[in-house]
Every structure is written in structure tokens, then in C-alpha cells.
Amino acid sequence: MSTSEKIWMNGELLDWQNAKIHILSHVVHYGSSTFEGIRCYDTEKGSAILFLDAHVKRLYQSSKIYRIEIPYSEEELKEAIIATIKANGHKACYIRPLVIRGQGALGVNPTMAAIEVAIATWEWGSYLGEEVLETGVDVRVASWARLAPNTMPTWAKAGGNYLNSQLIKMEALMDNYAEGIGLDVNGYVAEGSGENIFVIRDGIIYTPMTGQSILPGISRNAVMTLARKFGYQVQETLIPREALYIADEVFMTGTAAEITPVRSIDKYPVGDEKRGPITEKLQSAYLDVVRTGNDPENWLTFI
């Protein structure tokens, strides 16, 4: 990954190489962190952060679920994000706010560990590759299932939750796929390792329900809003695995992945093995906002 000049940590802008934690920090041993992935785009109207309010709100909600009290207000954290971008001179970047349990406890009980907060920004292109926004990606159904309900809180974007995502991602890459699709505990389609999924058949857009142990994605919500605005029917429902193999179009969404079409699943071709018309229409509308800065949905925070 590329590096930047500064990282905001516990209220100070530090040099990148000096933003450190102790090896006995609770997070190192138990995955006790919450985080967000946010994008800042270099639009025609200037640099703008996409969905800033929603991302910061979710960070606080994730932390609340894990009983972590962030020692800054939401407004203070937003100001720190903007200050970090400016300190690094970015016009466009990826933003990683991170909340961790640090030193003070080294057992399963984390309550004596100090809470530390950091914000890093760096330049990062398309998560799955620029060209795949048009050509699509090849994916597989993972052998690893997503987390079962009442085991870990999947509505929280927490570090330890992503051990499951790592297994799905590594398995896919080892088999020469770009991404894996996790099924839920009952065998229905859930999500990718770091993306939500949409399946289109006969003009209707289907997506898994948030009660299926998926992360309720911010980009997912934006795409559903766009789709309904365009007059498409969107159904949050159970999707059996075989529906993937007879879909007209499939695409994945996420802050990093944006809107990425899927051209094959388990070597079954999806549609014409290229970006379909509904995917293209939604993708075009989404990317138009972040490229031009024209923002009818009030998604952007200009800096």
C-alpha cells in the first residue's frame, strides 16, 4: 500500500511511521476494534467525502455494540478526518478511522483497556481493479459460511468479525477468483468478503435481508435508493444459491468496491458475461455523483 505523511492518533497528527501501539494492546490479541472504510473523491467541484455522516454514525454504533466508548464526539471525529486529509495533501484518498482497545487488560475481559482512536488516509484505486467496473469479475461461492445469528454481532463493523472475511477472500484468490460469496447459516446467499450483493432477474432486483448476518452496507442502501428512484422493484429476501446461476445480472457494492458487476459465479456465466443494463444504469448514476460533484442525493461532504 502507499503511505502518507501523517496519521491522526489520539488527538494529534503524527508522522506515519510514528503512529504505533504496544504489542500487548488488547486489540492485537483479541481483535477488539471497530473501524470504517470511507472514500474521498476528486470531483469536478473539488475534493469531497462520500457518505461521511453515515460512516461516522456507524462507527459509533459498532463501538456501542461492543461496549466501547469513543472519547471524542462525532463532530470532533469528522473534523479530524478532514484535517488528516488536508495534512496529507490528498485530493482523493481512502480513509480509515479506527477505534481500538489498547493497553491495560490482557484477558478476555477488555474493560480495563484504554480506548485509542486513529485516522489514516492514503491513495487507493478501485478495490477489485479499474477495468472490472466495466468487464466484471469472476467469483465463487465460498466453502466458509458467514457468521450465524447470535454468535457475533455482524451489524458491527469490527476487526475480529473480519477473520471470517479473510478466509473467504484467501480461498477465492487461491482458486483464481476475484472474490468469494458467503452463504448464511441456512445456505442462502449472504454477502461477499467485503461487499454486499445484488441479483437481478426479469427486471427485479433482489438482495439479502439485513437479518441474515450481513453488514447493512452504506453503499447498499444508496444503491437501493437509486434503484427505486429509477422505478425498479427492489426486494430484500432470501436468495437460494442456485438463483446466482440463472441470474440475468449480479453486482456487488461497497465503499471500496463501489458497484462492481459479476460476470461469472462458480464458472456459470452471468447473463452475457459482461456488465448488464440495469447494473450499468445504477453504476453510471453512482459514479456521476463522485466524478462530477453533482449531488442530488446529498451524499457528499466537500472539504
Query: Is the alpha carbon torsion for 166, 172, 177, 182 positive or negative?
Result: negative
Half-sphere exposure of 73 (CA within 13 A, CB side): 3
DSSP conformation class of 156: S
Q: Three-state DSSP class for 255?
A: coil
CA-to-CA distance for 99 and 78, rounded, in angstroms?
A: 14
- The most distant pair of C-alpha atoms in the chain lies apart, rounded to whole Å, by 56
DSSP conformation class of 112: T
* H/E element, 282: helix 277-292
Q: Are strands 258-265 and 137-141 parallel, antiparallel or unpaired?
A: parallel
* Residue among 6, 78, 157, 169 flagged as catalytic: 157
Burial class, 169, CB count within 10 angstroms (exposed 0-12 / middle 13-18 / buried 19+): buried
- Mark whether 281 is an active-site residue: no
Rg of the chain (C-alpha set): 19
Distances (CA, A) of 248 to 105, 220, 237, 269: 52, 19, 17, 9
Half-sphere exposure of 25 (CA within 13 A, CB side): 17
In one-letter notation, the amino acid at residue 256 is A
Q: Catalytic residue positions?
A: 157
